[in-house]
């Protein structure tokens, strides 16, 4: 087993797990959602959808922790996570386009997503990148 590959995957999985765990906070706390996203209407429908989102985010946190334990064997979780990040970014773009959220509120999230995308993609594709660079 290539220790560099395992280390890159573990780093990506740990960073993703911490990020996802922290993302649960505004999903379950309307005051935090208002602070971060400017959403000030925690109606029943809002709480229902946020509860679903928080459950899925917490579940993905668990999946990343599970993958962290055997990173090379579970490396496909990194590829799945890239898809999830793209989906979250697309959702944010739609929300900005519809006027549901101000673009400036999402800029920090886009920056974090870009870093995570680079980390997960590099970790997942490391064996191919190493062969490409070597020769």
Domains of the chain: total: 1
Does the structure show a pLDDT above 70 at 1? no
Interval 36-90: pLDDT, tens: 999 888 788 889 999 999 999 999 999 999 999 999 999 999 999 999 999 999 9
What whole-number distance in Å separates Cα of residue 31 and Cα of residue 13?
29
Supply the Cα-derived Rg of the chain in whole angstroms. Answer: 17
Q: Which domain holds residue 73?
A: 3-129
- pTM beyond 0.75, yes or no: yes
Specify if 135 maps to a domain: no
Examine residue 114 and state whether it is found in any structural domain, yes or no. yes
Q: Quick check: is 134 in a domain?
A: no
């Amino acid at each position: 087993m290539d220790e560099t590959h395992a280390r890159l995957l573990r780093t990506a999985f740990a960073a993703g797990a911490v990020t996802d765990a922290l993302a649960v906070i505004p999903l379950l706390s309307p005051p935090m959602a208002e602070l971060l996203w400017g959403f000030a209407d925690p109606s029943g429908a809002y709480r229902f959808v946020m509860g679903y989102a928080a459950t899925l985010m917490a579940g993905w946190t668990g999946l990343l922790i599970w993958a962290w334990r055997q990173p090379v064997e579970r490396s496909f979780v990194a590829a799945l996570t890239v898809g999830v990040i793209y989906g979250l970014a697309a959702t944010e773009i739609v929300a900005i386009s519809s006027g549901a959220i101000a673009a400036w509120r999402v800029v920090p999230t886009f920056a974090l997503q870009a870093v995570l995308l680079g980390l997960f993609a590099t970790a997942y594709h490391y064996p191919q990148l190493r062969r490409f660079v070597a020769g």
